[in-house]
Amino acid sequence: MTKLLSSRRAFLTTLGASLAAPAILKAQGARKRIYMVLFRGETEVEQGYRAYVQERGLPFELIIRNIDRNRANLPKFIDEIRATKPDLVYGWGTTVALGLVGTQDAADRSAFIPPDIPCVYALVADPVGAKLASQLGTGTGRNVTGVSHIVPLASQMAAIQAYRPFNKIGMIFNPQEENSVLNVRAMQALAQEKGYSVVVEEVSMTDGKPDPAAVPSLVDKVADAGAQFFYIGPDTFVGDQRHAITARSLERRLPTFTATELEVRTSDCLFGLVSRYDNVGRFAAYKSEQILMQGLKAGSLPVETLQRFSYIVNMSVAQRLKLYPPMSVLRFAEVIGV
């Protein structure tokens, strides 16, 4: 725990210095090539990564590749990595990270990037559940480290209870996304432990892809089952359908909670306990700096989450639902939509 907090504090100190004094480091020596493999194009995470690099004056050249939500595109990029031998590989999300480096216990690593190239991943919801790390707060022992953006699930449920007590929560998920499947399993295990129930609806497939047209009816099923909150977890498809989900939930008077920043800031989601995406990117860039500029081994750097999270309440949605947060929540929440 001491090592984990030390790493987080060091990042916050460095981040503060970079914001106060841009380009405080001078680019020295050859530029470092960072090969970035993205899942759905550039996001606020990469914007934060770029901003950190620019503010620190780091000699990083970013090579951007996008699998466009199709894991079948990964092998050609791994071949390019083998051929070009970048100084570091960055991976966005669970699907990409697993495709690049595999699980901790994978016996055959021939399909992954060469083990002598360090890898930093970001926006992985559950590194331990995905078997990318044995536990948070420690190094992996291999040439890999990363940043998770998800607040621990028990803390998320406590955040909901702080707004309104509940005994049944609902969610939908895309079975093609490993991070979403892991989140469902974790939710079901926690529900059993804590004594509440969870309604889970799987998104149907059309031509091998999750069907957006099915989303409103799935929200209806969750509402009809008596869920008191609709949970939006770390699922790219669900996130893409945030407008349809929150609109239907509002029609059904079903309040929504999110684990990721995008939904609460850009749709009619009621509230969430989230990590800022740009800070996730900055933290990943900080780890890249430690590896490429300070000579630290990726496997010695802890896999971790951010130290600070935001409890965000969309007051315009609260007004429409007539479901206002208690004063105890307003004392620390960030209120938007006023």
> Residue by residue, what is the 3-state secondary structure of 68-102?
CCCHHHHHHHHHHHHHHCCCEEEEEHHHHHHHHHC
Contacts of 38 (CB under 8 A, 6+ apart): 46, 64, 65, 66, 67, 92, 96
Fold match between domain 2-149+276-305 and domain 153-274+310-336: yes
Single pTM value for the model = 0.83
Q: Distance of CA 62 to CAs 32, 238, 264, Å?
A: 9, 29, 30
Buried b (16+ CB within 10 A) or exposed e, 57-87: ebbbebeebbbebeeeebeebbeebeeeebb
pLDDT given for residue 194 in this prediction: 96
CATH class of the domain defined by 153-274+310-336: alpha beta
Give 269-305 pLDDT, tens digit per residue.
Answer: 999 999 999 999 999 999 999 999 999 999 999 999 9
| Contact assessment for residue 115 and residue 75, using Cβ atoms and an 8 Å cutoff | no
Superfamily of domain 2-149+276-305, CATH level 4: Response regulator (3.40.50.2300)
pLDDT of residue 4: 52
Tens-place pLDDT, residues 71-108: 999 999 999 999 999 999 999 999 999 999 999 999 99
Mind spelling out the 3-state secondary structure of 137-170? CCCCCCCEEEEECCCCHHHHHHHHHHHCCCCEEE
What count of Cα atoms within 13 Å lies in the side-chain half-sphere of residue 238? 31
Q: Is residue 28 pLDDT above 60, yes or no?
A: no
Domain ranges in the chain are: 2-149+276-305, 153-274+310-336
Longest Cα–Cα distance of the chain, Å, equals 62
